Chain A
Amino acid sequence: MRRICVLALLLSAIVGNSAAEALLIRNATVLTVTKGTIPNGSVLVEDGKIAAVGENLSAPAGATIVDASGKYLMPGMIDCHSHTAIEGGVNEGTVSDSSMVNIEDVLDPMDINIYRALAGGLTVSNVLHGSANAIGGQTVVVKLRWGKTAQDMLFAGAKPGIKFALGENPKRQGYVPPSVLPPGRPAARRYPGTRMGVEDVIRESFMEAKNYREDWQAYRARVARGEHPLPPRKDLRLEPLVEVLEGKRYVHAHCYRSDEILMLLRVADEMGFKIRTLQHALEAYKVAREIAEHGASVSTFSDWWSYKIEAYDATPYNVAILTRKGVLVSVNSDSDELQRHLNLEAAKSMRYGGLSEAEALALVTINPAKQLAIDDKVGSIEAGKSADLALFDGHPLSNYSKALRVWIDGHEYFDRDKDLETRPDFERKKKALEDKDNGGPRLPTRR
């Protein structure tokens, strides 16, 4: 795997730029996710979109034909919780409410983990901050268009989000060495230091946001009356919170404990906004009914817990229980490594809780698409949706399968064979650069 990544930069030039001409993938087992499985199916792609899905499709003239006999085609996977491609720190951890910071500002389209994720069939990521702050900042949904610019990676039309965090992480107060503080001033430790403090930070921020919104409303009313008042100061911290209040921005909240989940739902109800996704939410199974009532959804791990105290009371049945109780659930990675095999993470919920094959696949395709409200564009293989596709050599819910080719909007961004083919040449080029870097190939020294 490591070597795949080494190659990636070189490959981006080769595979990332194929034209979006018509493409017919035929004779595959097509896992549509929403419309069942087509054993000997074909998918026709035109202009980056899925034009038709069926059993006997004919290719228009000039179309590229991929014979996928014995192979499995699934929608490109979607990771609802990623920290990939963030440059210069995933947290602005100096303040408890850092709503002003925006992932869009710091996307690094050359992060090699993008290519590694593609190589596992992932095509869309919800890129979030870390969990150091009660309110972490503005988030974006990206397509893993490896080789393109950050702006070109943005998922057009996807609603932006904001990251919240509850529990152990945001109540860490940090440490400021007394030596850098003016004499006599106590060490400035960050508020809050308790879970109730985290609640307070969120409530306080939204109260400020409401006042801020009122100030602007009052200003606009005066302008409408023909007056020329000084506008309020534009505050980048409060702007996104106003958007949350107005339903223009989704809340993705990192949480573990059931009591905190209830707390957050109460605060949201009180302040008049919605929680879109509860992230991690390992104790969500205890409060599934309340979550469903609020209209929130859950994006969780398959079977990862006990890495800290608040993550102990967990079960791998979380996903299945929530699904059965009517909560929309996705399985996420939160990790540059896990995102490379989200399909296997999904499969675990068949073992633990007995989800069907379609339900398991949905955990990493249509469900996260619904959570991010991009299910009209991606998340299943249906005519009219974007041609984000992953071709596997076996059933993607099997440990023994691997992704062979991956397309986004009909462009091919990963091809395992081409990757393998170009490795020797790449290794040679890299060796030459290394020799140059070391001041030429090492020669025997002469005295």
Chain B
Amino acid sequence: MIRVRSGARRSPLAAAVTLLAACASLRAEVPSAIAIKDARVVTVSGEDLPKATVLLRGGLIQDVGAGLAIPQDAWVIEGAGLTVYPGFIDGLSHWGLAPVTNPAPEVHARGPEDRPQTYSFERAADRLDPRDRRLEAVRAAGFTAAATFPDRGIFEGLGAMISLGGAEVRDMVIAQPIGQQVTFRITRGPARSGYPASLMGNIAYVRQLYLDLDHYKQAKEMRQPGYDHALEGLADSPRVLLPAEQAQQIDRMLNFAPELKTPVVLYGLHEAYRRIETLKQTHVPLLVSLKWPEKPRDAGPNDTANYRLLLMREQAPAVPGMLAKAGLKFGFYSDGIDTASGLRQALKKALDAGLPRAAAIRALTLNVAEMYGMADRMGTIERGKMANLVATRGDIFEEKSAIEYVFVGGRKFEPAKEVHE
């Protein structure tokens, strides 16, 4: 590690190196090191540092602190007036996924043995497309990583923690598999794909598949032949994400989770304001959808919402604040919002409804990293973590604040100041 005395500042040599580096790589600005100097640093792991330097090298945070010596080979970014945050992580995403081309038609299932709507074995990591335009769009809201999951079926497949800055697929995957998303698929009218079509059928199917997994593992231990890729996918999954939007769904999934004998994460939670006390009794990680329920844009004049729904539309954005106040850890997920302005507006609603800024930052960074067991690599600004950062002029949640730089694995991006949709 090269350390230059703090007085050295930016030597002519360093400048030359910088210039050369810039010429050599016009496509991606990847200098050997970057120093963001004298910025306000929101470390998340500890106290905010009012004036500190963050040093990035080799895709990692080499060091952070006040008065750090700046290496000769480092590009220097004057940080005065900038606030640096850990890059945001989307807790449950489909960003970066290429669409499935020519999907095979669903087999008309006659029972759980047909493994209906089960893609548990498909890996998000195998479907990534670095050209996905959403990646650039959401970087402009400060997102640098996402827990991306495949997006079809009941068992949707194995997710990956991806970096939102890679030029190649191999650069995008931070870790995988990180879990399995379950979505209940309820069909009204003719059930095209057969069993299951109802909610109770979906739940019974999920229960049966996990029972089958138990049996499969026992059979394997006894060296019995057999291969079931649906169960292999389940076996590979370190956790399962279960949908829990409304109060009774939260109860239901908390009740159901122990049967699966695998760690669970609940996602949705828009009506969690009715279940704060219940959630305090558990230690289940929570992912709150940023897609707040609201009156549909095409609602007709006679489409009236009942009291419960009206209340949910009003109260949902207050859920994050309530969870924070109750000392519950939660993360956010984009739930289909994939523009910078959309994400910022959604976050603003939660802040306006009482979520403290520090708790919001945590929910967008460390909490998600912890949820997926990746807090050793991301989620804070600490030595040794991935160089995923956001630098803003002004507080990141202020509407007027501009995001100046986004760093993903040490790569610097400068989002367009005005985002047009």
* A residues at B contact (CB < 8 Å): 6, 9-10, 86-95, 98, 100-103, 105-110, 112, 137, 149-151, 174-177, 180-182, 188, 230-231, 233-237, 426, 429-430, 433-434, 436-438
B110 nearest CB neighbor, chain A only: A95
Asked whether B307 is an interface residue with its Cβ less than 8 Å from the other chain, the reply is yes
Q: Please tell me if the beta carbons of B108 and A176 are within 8 angstroms of each other in the complex.
A: yes
B211, B255, B304, B313: the one within 8 Å of A234 (CB): B211
Q: Please tell me if the beta carbons of B200 and A92 are within 8 angstroms of each other in the complex.
A: yes
A87, A94, A429: the one within 8 Å of B194 (CB): A94
B383-399 residues with Cβ-Cβ distance < 8 A to A are none
B210-250 residues with Cβ-Cβ distance < 8 A to A are 211-212, 214-215, 218-219, 222, 224, 246-248
A8 nearest CB neighbor, chain B only: B307
B185-220 residues with Cβ-Cβ distance < 8 A to A are 186, 188, 190-204, 207-208, 211-212, 214-215, 218-219
Assuming the contacts A6-B307, A234-B211, A437-B295, asked whether A176 and B190 have C-beta atoms less than 8 A apart, the reply is: yes
B198, B215, B248: the one within 8 Å of A91 (CB): B198
Q: Please tell me if the beta carbons of A105 and B203 are within 8 angstroms of each other in the complex.
A: yes
Q: Please tell me if the beta carbons of A230 and B200 are within 8 angstroms of each other in the complex.
A: no
Q: Please tell me if the beta carbons of B112 and A88 are within 8 angstroms of each other in the complex.
A: no
A105, A180, A230: the one within 8 Å of B193 (CB): A180
Q: Please tell me if the beta carbons of A102 and B200 are within 8 angstroms of each other in the complex.
A: yes
Q: Please tell me if the beta carbons of B197 and A94 are within 8 angstroms of each other in the complex.
A: yes
Tell me, rounded to whole Å, the shortest Cβ–Cβ distance linking A354 to chain B. Answer: 42
**What are the nearest 6 A-B pairs in CB distance?**
A88-B199, A89-B198, A92-B201, A433-B310, A101-B200, A100-B204
A233 surroundings in chain B (CB, below 8 A): 211-212, 215
Q: Please tell me if the beta carbons of A434 and B310 are within 8 angstroms of each other in the complex.
A: yes
Q: Please tell me if the beta carbons of B306 and A6 are within 8 angstroms of each other in the complex.
A: yes
A86 nearest CB neighbor, chain B only: B200
* B residues at A contact (CB < 8 Å): 105-112, 184, 186, 188, 190-204, 207-208, 211-212, 214-215, 218-219, 222, 224, 246-248, 251-252, 255-256, 294-295, 304-308, 310-311, 313-314
B306 surroundings in chain A (CB, below 8 A): 6, 112
Q: Please tell me if the beta carbons of A149 and B248 are within 8 angstroms of each other in the complex.
A: yes
Assuming the contacts A149-B251, A174-B191, A234-B215, asked whether A433 and B200 have C-beta atoms less than 8 A apart, the reply is: no
A129 nearest CB neighbor, chain B only: B200
B193 surroundings in chain A (CB, below 8 A): 180
Q: Please tell me if the beta carbons of B195 and A433 are within 8 angstroms of each other in the complex.
A: no
A89, A110, A176: the one within 8 Å of B200 (CB): A89
Q: Please tell me if the beta carbons of B190 and A151 are within 8 angstroms of each other in the complex.
A: no
Give 12 pairs: A residue, B residue, CB < 8 Å, sorted on A: A9-B307, A88-B200, A92-B197, A93-B191, A94-B194, A105-B203, A174-B190, A233-B211, A234-B215, A236-B207, A430-B310, A433-B313
Tell me, rounded to whole Å, the shortest Cβ–Cβ distance linking B207 to chain A. Answer: 6
Known: A9-B311, A137-B200. 17 other contacts (CB 8 A): A87-B199, A89-B186, A89-B188, A92-B201, A94-B109, A95-B110, A105-B199, A105-B203, A108-B248, A149-B248, A150-B252, A174-B191, A176-B192, A180-B192, A182-B107, A230-B219, A437-B313
* A89–B188 alpha-carbon span in the complex (Å): 8
Tell me, rounded to whole Å, the shortest Cβ–Cβ distance linking B383 to chain A. Answer: 46
A102 surroundings in chain B (CB, below 8 A): 200, 203-204
* A6–B311 alpha-carbon span in the complex (Å): 13
A97 nearest CB neighbor, chain B only: B111
Q: Please tell me if the beta carbons of A150 and B212 are within 8 angstroms of each other in the complex.
A: no
